Chains A and B, each alone.
Chain A
Amino acid sequence: MTKIPLQFRHNGRDVAIFVDGGTNLLVALRELIGDMTPKFGCGQGGCGTCSVLIDGELHLSCLTLAETVAGRSVETLDGMKQGPNLHPLQRAFAENFAAQCGYCTPGMLMAAKALLDRNSAPSRADVIEAISGNICRCTGYEPIINAILAAAGGRASA
Chain B
Amino acid sequence: MAVTVKTFANASEATGALASDRAARYLGGGTLVMRALNEGDVSISTIVRARDQALTRIDVSGPRVTLGAGVTFARVLAERDLAFLHAPARSIGGPAVRNMGTVGGNLFATNPYGDFTVALLALDATIAVQGGFGSRDIPIEEFLQGRERQAGTLVLSVSCTRPASSEAFRYRKIARIKPKGGSVITLAAHLPVSGGRIAGARIALGSMAPTPIRARAAERTLEGRSLDAATIAAAASAATEGTSPSDNALGSAWYRREIVGVYLRRLLAEQE
A interface list, Cβ under 8 A from B: 1, 4, 20-24, 43-45, 48, 51, 57-60, 62-65, 67-68, 111, 114-115, 128-134
Contact = CB atoms under 8 A, between A and B. Distances in A.
Interface string B78-116: 000000000000000111110110000000000000000
Contacts of A63: 29-31, 34-35, 38, 100
A64 B34 contact: yes
21 contacts: A1-B4, A21-B3, A22-B3, A24-B34, A44-B39, A45-B93, A45-B97, A58-B95, A59-B99, A60-B31, A63-B29, A63-B38, A64-B30, A65-B49, A67-B7, A111-B95, A132-B95, A132-B179, A133-B93, A133-B95, A134-B94
Contacts, number: 91
Contacts of A60: 30-31, 96-97, 100
Given A22-B2, A22-B47, A67-B5, A45 B95 contact: no
B94 A44 contact: no
A21 B95 contact: no
A52 B94 CA distance: 13
Interface in B1-50: 1-5, 7, 27, 29-31, 34-35, 37-39, 47, 49
Interface residues of B, number: 27
Nearest to B37: A22
Contact of A58 (B29, B47, B96): B96
Contact of A43 (B4, B38, B47): B38
A45 B35 CA distance: 7
A60 B29 CA distance: 10
A24 to B, nearest CB: 6
A43 B94 contact: no
A48 B30 CA distance: 14
A48 B3 CA distance: 25
A43 B41 CA distance: 13
Nearest to B90: A129
For the complex of A and B, list the 6 residue pairs with the smallest distance between their C-beta atoms, beginning with the closest.
Answer: A133-B94, A22-B3, A43-B38, A20-B2, A63-B34, A1-B2
B197 interface: no
A32 to B, nearest CB: 14
